[in-house]
Amino acid sequence: MSPLQSQNYDYIIVGAGSAGCILANRLSADPKNRVLLVEAGGSDRNFWLKLPVGYFRSINDKRFSRHFATEAQSGTAGRGIVWPRGRVIGGSSTINGLIFIRGQHADFDRWEEMGATGWSYREVLPHFRSLETFGGEPSQLRGSYGEMPVSVLRNNHPFCSAWVEAANQYGMPLNNDFNGETTEGAGSYQLSIGKRWRASAARAFLQPVLDRPNLTLMSRVLVSRLLIEEGNGGPTPRAVGVEWHEDGRKSEAFAAREVILCAGAIQSPQLLQLSGIGPDAVLEKAGVRTIVSSPGVGGNLQDHYQMRTIVRMKKPISLNDDVRNPIRLARMGIDWLLYGRGPLTIGAGQVGGATYTKYADPGRPDIQFNVMPLSVDKPGDPLHRYSGFTAAVWQCHPESRGSVEIVSDDPSAAPRIVPNYLTAERDGATLVEGVKILRQIYSQPAFKDLWEEEVVPGPSVQSDEEILDAARRGGGTVYHPVGTCRIGGDESAVVDPDLRVRGVAGLRVADASVMPVITSANTNAPTLMIAEKASSIILEQAKNHG
């Protein structure tokens, strides 16, 4: 269906990212539902977006990602941090590091304790299972029939194997499935990869159903605001559509049933605020008239902040060396092309794991490691010329909270992002302990003879104060912003447990912004689950209400 033929739909989904692609698939499965999916980005038909290791090039490529800058703050030594977010079909699932970890079981039980009724681990597990096909050992906790392929690691590197053994020697048990009973331990990470290519949400859920006549995809369309019918003191305001500008003209599309925001933790709250739904003071300052006063919109911002350690290895067999060796490069290409294995299938971490610091709550690991046999200043930069090895650490359960606030009524203007990294004392203390534990792992028998020098943070950084200062100066995001439209049962929550925006009928949010508390690990898998569960809720309620 061409968007010129009809501007009237049953459901309008804003954002063709991880959540939006699943919702478009599930809602359009019923041919009676007319579904419009609107995306600000363009096509994902690019080789580097499909090749798994291509994220090193694409994540900071402004053709495929929009770069949001956080406010400079004391927690980051006066630096602003760049947050690239996918602006392409598939959203951030098209440019991310591919690591697929759901998070600790207790993460979701904590959601329910905070008022997200129906979101306990027991209740979300069926939705995790239904969306995936796991390539490892069958388990009652894993899925076998979903569209998203989840692959076990297909690149064995001696440095990574030695690190896992050293972590075991330190005291971390071997963990063969971080999506199984626990995230505790050390082992190989699972990735969202098919036989050879990245399995983005677009490739897994959207592309196979684009020929449905009741599903319309509009790309390169930046929604400027929601269309809301006000009750003039009577009925609850209702979202009836969306507005955007194209070739200097205003265009509109209308939804008979619902508008569903899947624009992510930055732009879902931004769009709500632009539409007059948010904190009164923020809206007034930006010149937007308040339609629904909702003080929680844009608050509760959370992210994982990481600190890397880098050591120089003795043997020149890190990926830093391999990419400069034509023979090894050719072997990489052959391994990928013929067998779907090797370094071209890696994500942002090959091995890693989770463990406890002295600050951990009982039974809940509070730090996670991400390990790669390479070193680089940031994705997109050339790998270092020495034989580098990187092990990074982040705090699983940060207590610092930030905010996203519009600064004007211009939809193309970036909002003010204040993450407040490391403002909670426990966050900094936990990160310092994580760096100290990494150093202990490096010193275990399985690894200590493989490296010759610590490059980052360096041997001169020893005291807790020095390590924390190094983290403030050299740490950064793991690209996991969440929480800005949180689920809850209280009046300050932005959405209720069915993801309906409080105070507005016909409007939901279903993406990472609804997480009450950030999950302990990578956030793409739980975002997919949120959309899967949301589709079940929406379809069931539509069935019950006719």
Dihedral class, residue 248 (left if φ above 0, else alpha if ψ from -120 to 50, else beta):
left
| Secondary structure percentages of the chain, helix, strand, coil, to 5 | 30, 25, 45
In total, the chain counts a number of residues equal to 546
For 243-302, the DSSP string reads: EEEETTEEEEEEEEEEEEE-SHHHHHHHHHHHTTEE-HHHHHHHT---SEE-TTTT-SBB
Question: What's the token pair of residue 315?
Answer: 């043997």
**Which residues have CB under 8 Å from 326's CB, separation 6+?**
none
Gap between the Cα atoms of 252 and 262, Å rounded: 18
Q: What whole-number distance in Å separates Cα of residue 272 and Cα of residue 223?
A: 11
Between CA 187 and CA 178 the distance in angstroms is 8
Angle 340-377-477 (CA atoms, 0-180°, nearest 5)?
85
Beta strand 215-218 pairing with 35-38: parallel
How far is C-alpha 7 from the chain's CA centre? 31
Q: How far is the CA of 81 from the CAs of 75, 303, 420, 472, 478, in angstroms?
A: 11, 12, 11, 11, 11
Distance CA 177, CA 162 (A): 19
**DSSP structure class, residue 501:** B
Is 480 noted as a catalytic residue in this protein?
Answer: yes
3-state SS, one letter per residue, for 176-195: CCCCCCCCEEEEECCECECC
Between 121-131 and 105-113, two packed helices, what is the crossing angle to 10 degrees? 130
Strands 476-477 and 305-313, bridge-based pairing: antiparallel
Our CA dihedral for 137, 138, 141, 142, rounded to 10 degrees, sits at 90
Beta bridge mates, 501? 495
CA distance 318 to 323: 9
Question: Structure tokens of 24?
Answer: 């478009």
Structural contact between residues 24 and 16, judged by C-beta atoms closer than 8 angstroms = yes
Task: Indicate the SS3 state at residue 75.
Answer: helix
For residue 256, what are its two tokens? 């008979």
Q: What dihedral angle (degrees, nearest 10) is formed by the CA atoms of 343, 347, 353, 358? A: 130
Point out the residues that are catalytic: 480
